[in-house]
Structure 1
Amino acid sequence: MNQNQNQNQDRTRNRTRLLALVVLSLALVGAATAPALVSAVERGSPNLDVYLEDDEVETGTEETLELQIQNDAEVVVGAGERSTIARGVSVEIEDAGPFEAKSGETALGQIQDGQVVDAPQRIAVPDSVEPGEYDVSVRVRYAYISPIFEGSSSTERQTMSDRLDVTVVVPDEPRFDVTDVSTAVEPGASGEAVLEIENTGPVPSNYTKTAVSGGNGITVDGGTPDAPTEEVLGDLEPNESTTMTVDVGIDDGVSAGDRPLEVDFFYHDDDGIERQANSVATSLATIDQSFSIDGLESTLAVGYDGVVTGAVTNDGPRTIDDAVLTVAPQSDSLFVEDTRYALPELKSGESAEFRYPTDVSGQADAGPRQLQFTVEYSGGDRTTLEDGPMSERVVVDDDHEEFAIETGEADVRQGETSEVVLEVTNDRPETFSNIDAKLYTDSPLEAPNSDAFVSELGPNESAELRFEITAAPDAAVEVHPVELDFEYDTERGETAVSDVYQHPIDVGAGEDDDSNVGSIVTVMAFLTVAGLGAGLWWRRA
């Protein structure tokens, strides 16, 4: 029994030793074959190439070359991925040929085996480039992982730089340019815009059509940017120009300045197939038409008619030939009978004077008043626009008389008829005409000639009025009042009657008045006394 147990124990020990040897052998075999397995997985490298599907460009434009970078990796041993990945890929146009590269080096990241990555690059195409095919060289830089040497489990990062070429085509086809866009339309209006178009290409353009679109508040022929309205231009030979007229509408909120227009061109080739030519980005210059009020003056006074005068200036860039200036008093005490003043044609920078007859209420207070001016004018073919209101201030003066009267010459005596000369002055700041003066007297004065006439009196001008006044013999030697009033025409052609003026007339003593009688009596008394004295002396003698 003990012998059998010992034999079993020996067999177990032998099996354990054998198993340990097998495990050790397998470990040694794995260690020996590991570099070979790594090598089989990792050996390979990326293989990058560049493609350009849409290779046509237009002269006189800045184009985007939609480059595509593809990684078609080379696998030497195994089917691993680490060595086939292009890492840190960047693209840059190195030689643009007749074009000008506008993009710098562009980072693309990593590109897996079989992957295609877009790499857009901008170039400028000068007008001088002739139709043809041109090579553009692209520099592609990248890195990848590879073993340090054959059979090694260690790797290193390899960097590569490849120069690849693509072909860019300048087609032999019509090309177009918009050389001018002119319009008189401004924000808030609609009207015509004229575009001048030239075929700058080397070949004729048959059955040419355009589609013009605006945006940002600009409407062309009622179309939209997504659905522009087409216009037919017809055939255009190389270097031939033509004009086209479109209807544009500009929203009121659009500020003055250049606003973009996109013009697409289409033509028929020799086979009658419609093709799209180049597109042109141009601009529509919206104008800022404005006006200003200068030199505002007034002759306003409480209770009287006056005038408001000034000048309106065209500060905008275009000629205005149908403008109307309107005024709106901001006070109920001012009344302007005709608030609309038709302006003459005004070129840019020109001014025109205006004149508004204005009444001031007799209940008004003297002081400043505000007026608001607005200019109405045509902003296109159909739309009436306004500039304003422009606020200006005038001053209403205190109530004062139209005329001032002074005595020029007056020698009125008791019992006599004398000529009286009065000097009348126009105290108002407007010209009066057809002035009829009327003199009124009361006893003991009479006026055989009570009328006088002055054809015209400007502001601060004076004239002499001649009347005849008779003083009664028994008129008191003192100052007597006379009254005058005036009927006259204002500058507006209205007839007005002034208030009644009182003026003093000094009546002097006549030749037969009491003072003269007293003198005669005194002389006679003196002579009588002298005679009596002489008689007495004679008698005494």
Structure 2
Amino acid sequence: MKHSSIAGVLLVVVLTVSAGTAAAAVSGSPDLDVTLSEDTVSPGEETTLDVVLSNSGDLDSASSANPSLNSEVTTARSLSVDVEGGNAPITVMTNRRHTGDLATGSPRTVSFDISVADDAEPGTYRVPVNVEYDYYNLISESGGARSKSSVSRTRYVTVRVSDDATFETVDIDSSVRVGSTDRVGLTIQNTGETTATDAAVTLTSQNSELTVGGSEQSSRFVETWEPGENRTFEYRVGASSDAKAEPYNFGLSVAFDDTDGVREESTGTTFGIAPQPEQEFSLSNVSGTLRAGDDRTLEAKLTNDGPRAVENAVVVWGSDHRNLSPQETEYAVGRLESGESTTVSFGVDTSESAREGPRQFDFSVNYNDGTSERQTSDTLSVQSDVAASEDAFDLAVTNKTIPIGNSRTVSVEVTNNLDETVTDIEARLFTDDPLSTVGTDSSYIESLAPGESATLAFDVSAGSAATEGSSYPMSFDFRYSDSDGDTHLSDTFRKPVDAVSQSGGGPPIGIILGLGVVIVGGVAVFYWRRD
């Protein structure tokens, strides 16, 4: 490594106290060395020249009475440094640097940004370094009077343009998007004059939002890399969901063996990789109120809010509610263009014990978007209400008075309260003393559409133990089949009837039935006799 020394300029001044009498004085000057911390550069690279300034000082006449004056005459004051390209194939991009005072014993490094020409010929070049500073060349010990000098000097350092392999990134192909991990392809050229062997190509992320191979950096290996040869390397780069769709810094370095077998490392280059915007979806227009004790459908509109079309999209149920169960956990959508919407639905079984009130339901979307891995969206949440349980049927009873000690026909109008047609409806009547059924206690309805009604008739008697004006309950239940063919048993319905005296109940059905038996019996006897 080359360096130069700056010799001080000595100016002798004689101070007089009285005529013919010389006073003691301190004299000296700074003595600066200029070197480079690293003198090798490569064609086509942008780097820094780190100029190292050190001051050894040159003390001609020292003071023993006041040693602090010694350092004053050897300190370079208001020091400034400037680097020129000279005949070297470099461009200096940093202006003159002002560094303040430089005393002896403490070197100072001043950095200058440079650009090396792509076609720079390998070899050594002299680079001018201009320094300017002031200093006190003489100080009176007794009176403190000072004499100042200024120095402007040009010294040279040697810069070597290497003929080793050098590398340049010529193409970047990235499929990475926010919230995903995917490939980044880097095409790199050996722009040097020699072959690199056993090269390790290392990509390093310089931020926390993006990773390489799941960590900060990842390397690829090349056994032989000829001058002018392009090599393409693939890295797995992940962008967190907190990343932005804007460029992030990455560093690239190549360690290799040169033609002499010496391990070298290229000066690292920096470039940007910008993740594409995150693929997003939304759920809206939720419909279908769920009801305790019922099987219903929850529907919503799924919209592709992302920048690209997706394939094989599947909406996945992600909620876990104790009293609500999806009949299926996935709904296949298929292809969905950017900005396109479609309706998705899930059948939901809600238990009788489910409480009335709002619920939140979470979903996610699995899909392919042309990248190499199947992707999963962020969680999509919607809200829907769970309604209180509702009777499957509505019952209305007419002929609600029964004469004590007699019977009468009670009419029951049955209405389907469900949102589907039910079939094979078997109605059954239950009574307790003092009520009892006369004849059959069951009836049948073939089918009822939603909101449709049918009237059933049951003969009910009130025993003599009944109290006039009192109400007594009749109980009904219904066994039926839904539209899927599943059989259900309804809750029990309780309806009151009133016991009244004989005079308030109309013709006793028992007498009518008795007469009917006599008449029918007479006819039966008549036909028997004809036979």
Distance in 1 (CA, whole Å) between partners of 2:377 and 2:362 is 13
3-state secondary structure, aligned to 2:34? strand
Write out aligned runs for 1:442-457 (5 A).
none
Aligned-residue offset at 1:199: 0.7
Distance in 1 (CA, whole Å) between partners of 2:362 and 2:200 is 50
Distance in 1 (CA, whole Å) between partners of 2:372 and 2:17 is 97
Write out aligned runs for 1:55-204 (5 A).
55-58=39-42, 62-71=46-55, 78=61, 81=70, 83-93=73-83, 98-102=90-94, 105-112=97-104, 117-125=107-115, 128=118, 130-131=120-121, 136-146=127-137, 154-172=145-163, 173-177=165-169, 179-180=171-172, 182=174, 184=176, 193-199=183-189, 201-203=191-193
Distance in 1 (CA, whole Å) between partners of 2:22 and 2:144 is 8
3-state secondary structure, aligned to 2:196? strand
Distance in 2 (CA, whole Å) between partners of 1:368 and 1:313 is 23
Q: Give yes or no for contact 1:142–1:160 (8 Å, CA) kept in 2.
A: yes
Q: Give yes or no for contact 1:50–1:69 (8 Å, CA) kept in 2.
A: yes
Aligned-residue offset at 1:297: 1.4
Q: Deviations over 1:291-317 (max 9, x none)?
A: 432222114234432111113445566
Amino acid at match of 2:22: A
Counterpart in the other structure of 1:480 = none
Aligned length: 414
Amino acid at match of 1:176: E
Q: Give yes or no for contact 2:83–2:92 (8 Å, CA) kept in 1.
A: no
Amino acid at match of 2:316: L
Q: Deviations over 1:191-218 (max 9, x none)?
A: 6634312216253643343133447666
Distance in 2 (CA, whole Å) between partners of 1:243 and 1:299 is 56
Distance in 1 (CA, whole Å) between partners of 2:482 and 2:273 is 55
Q: Give yes or no for contact 2:327–2:349 (8 Å, CA) kept in 1.
A: no
Residues 54/265 of structure 1: CA separation in 2 closer, same or farther (3 Å cut): same
Aligned-residue offset at 1:141: 2.2
2:233 is matched with which residue: 209, 234, 244?
A: 244
Residues 90/365 of structure 1: CA separation in 2 closer, same or farther (3 Å cut): same
Q: Give yes or no for contact 1:371–1:392 (8 Å, CA) kept in 2.
A: yes
Q: Give yes or no for contact 2:316–2:366 (8 Å, CA) kept in 1.
A: yes
Amino acid at match of 2:258: D
Aligned-residue offset at 1:165: 4.5
2:266 is matched with which residue: 255, 277, 281?
A: 277
Distance in 2 (CA, whole Å) between partners of 1:363 and 1:174 is 74
Q: Would you say 1:34 and 2:22 are equivalent positions?
A: yes
Q: TM-score, normalised by structure 2?
A: 0.58
**If each structure's helix is expressed as a fraction of its own residues, which one has the higher value?**
1
1:395 is matched with which residue: 354, 379, 385?
A: 385
User: Which is higher, the Rg of structure 1 or of structure 2?
Assistant: 1
Q: Give yes or no for contact 1:437–1:485 (8 Å, CA) kept in 2.
A: no
Distance in 2 (CA, whole Å) between partners of 1:31 and 1:276 is 70
Counterpart in the other structure of 2:412 = none
Q: Would you say 1:54 and 2:38 are equivalent positions?
A: yes
Q: Would you say 1:340 and 2:347 are equivalent positions?
A: no
Q: Would you say 1:355 and 2:345 are equivalent positions?
A: yes
Q: Deviations over 1:452-474 (max 9, x none)?
A: 779xx8xxx99999x9xxxxxxx
Residues 33/128 of structure 1: CA separation in 2 closer, same or farther (3 Å cut): same
User: Runs of 5+ in structure 1 lacking a partner?
Assistant: 1-27, 406-423, 443-449, 468-482, 502-541
Distance in 2 (CA, whole Å) between partners of 1:327 and 1:500 is 36
3-state secondary structure, aligned to 2:22? helix
3-state secondary structure, aligned to 1:278? coil
3-state secondary structure, aligned to 1:394? strand
Q: Deviations over 1:159-194 (max 9, x none)?
A: 33334444544434432216326355876x8x6634
Aligned-residue offset at 1:67: 0.5
Residues 246/98 of structure 1: CA separation in 2 closer, same or farther (3 Å cut): closer
Counterpart in the other structure of 2:470 = none
Distance in 2 (CA, whole Å) between partners of 1:351 and 1:212 is 40
Distance in 1 (CA, whole Å) between partners of 2:426 and 2:55 is 118
Distance in 1 (CA, whole Å) between partners of 2:186 and 2:417 is 63
Residues 352/236 of structure 1: CA separation in 2 closer, same or farther (3 Å cut): farther
Aligned-residue offset at 1:30: 9.9
Counterpart in the other structure of 2:463 = none
Q: Deviations over 1:317-376 (max 9, x none)?
A: 67575755124255x5x4224362154456665555432212334455544333333556
**Superposition RMSD on alpha carbons, in Å?**
5.6
Q: Would you say 1:256 and 2:240 are equivalent positions?
A: no
Q: Give yes or no for contact 1:130–1:170 (8 Å, CA) kept in 2.
A: yes
Distance in 2 (CA, whole Å) between partners of 1:493 and 1:95 is 92
Q: Would you say 1:310 and 2:300 are equivalent positions?
A: yes
Write out aligned runs for 1:349-498 (5 A).
351=341, 353-362=343-352, 364=354, 366-374=356-364, 387-388=378-379, 390-397=380-387, 428=419, 432=420, 436=423, 489-490=482-483, 494=486
1:328 is matched with which residue: 297, 307, 319?
A: 319
Write out aligned runs for 1:276-295 (5 A).
276-282=265-271, 288=278, 291-295=281-285
Residues 488/87 of structure 1: CA separation in 2 closer, same or farther (3 Å cut): same
Distance in 2 (CA, whole Å) between partners of 1:293 and 1:63 is 52
Q: Deviations over 1:104-130 (max 9, x none)?
A: 623142233xx5723322314267564
Amino acid at match of 1:280: T
Distance in 2 (CA, whole Å) between partners of 1:195 and 1:179 is 8
3-state secondary structure, aligned to 2:39? coil
User: Runs of 5+ in structure 2 lacking a partner?
Assistant: 1-15, 64-69, 396-414, 430-443, 456-475, 494-531
Q: TM-score, normalised by structure 1?
A: 0.57
Distance in 1 (CA, whole Å) between partners of 2:108 and 2:121 is 27
Counterpart in the other structure of 2:521 = none
Q: Give yes or no for contact 1:261–1:282 (8 Å, CA) kept in 2.
A: yes
Distance in 2 (CA, whole Å) between partners of 1:51 and 1:397 is 84
3-state secondary structure, aligned to 2:290? coil
Residues 242/268 of structure 1: CA separation in 2 closer, same or farther (3 Å cut): same
Matched-pair identity in %: 23
Residues 336/223 of structure 1: CA separation in 2 closer, same or farther (3 Å cut): closer
Distance in 2 (CA, whole Å) between partners of 1:495 and 1:29 is 128
Aligned-residue offset at 1:271: 3.9
Distance in 1 (CA, whole Å) between partners of 2:340 and 2:193 is 48
Amino acid at match of 1:159: S
Amino acid at match of 1:143: D
Counterpart in the other structure of 2:507 = none
Q: Deviations over 1:205-261 (max 9, x none)?
A: 433431334476666558776xx65522642442x43322345678x8x83246654
3-state secondary structure, aligned to 1:231? strand
Aligned-residue offset at 1:143: 0.7
